[in-house]
Amino acid sequence: MATNRFLCEICGKGFQRDQNLQLHRRGHNLPWKLKQRTNKEVRKRVYVCPEKTCVHHHPSRALGDLTGIKKHFCRKHGEKKWKCEKCSKRYAVQSDWKAHSKTCGTREYKCDCGTLFSRYNFFISRIYNDRATEMICMFDIIVVDKGFKEEINQGGLAN
């Protein structure tokens, strides 16, 4: 257990951090001063991906902890050693494979085209995207037909 290294000279109360003591001194109307961080102390350690072509190689896109960069490197650039027995999907991080194995095949949403989705939101996105694609195709046909009729009406193709 941590000891109370910083003691109040008025009441004897102990604190683990000097900043807490300084805040406590305000209650006794004593002069107090919080230490301000300098620019050098604000610097945060970042972890960049060693792969030169990766977006996380640049410090502005770096990850915050060592475990995160290790998992990122394995997921994105490493060998996928673990394979799901049910769906043959492969994983580079064992914890990802274990999490997938727990839910693989338990929930399925089937599209009219026969594609299976394990997540409802992916299934719904597929439906909306298919409808949007159909609408775009219909719109393109209408625009093309309209343009063609306008050209005929203007006499562009009649000559």
107 closest CA partner among 127, 97, 122, 94? 122
Which tens digits make up the pLDDT trace of 74-94?
899 999 999 999 888 999 989
CA distance linking residue 158 with residue 130, whole number of Å:
38
Stretch 12-19: mean pLDDT, rounded? 87
What is the three-class DSSP state of 143?
A: helix
Query: Using H for helix, E for strand and C for coil, what is the string for 113-126?
Result: CCCEECCHHHHHHH
Query: What spatial distance separates the first Cα and last Cα of the chain, rounded to whole Å?
Result: 97
Q: Is the pLDDT of residue 150 over 50?
A: no
CA distance linking residue 155 with residue 37, whole number of Å:
78
Which tens digits make up the pLDDT trace of 19-61?
888 888 888 887 777 666 666 555 677 889 999 999 988 888 8
Average model confidence (pLDDT) across the chain: 74
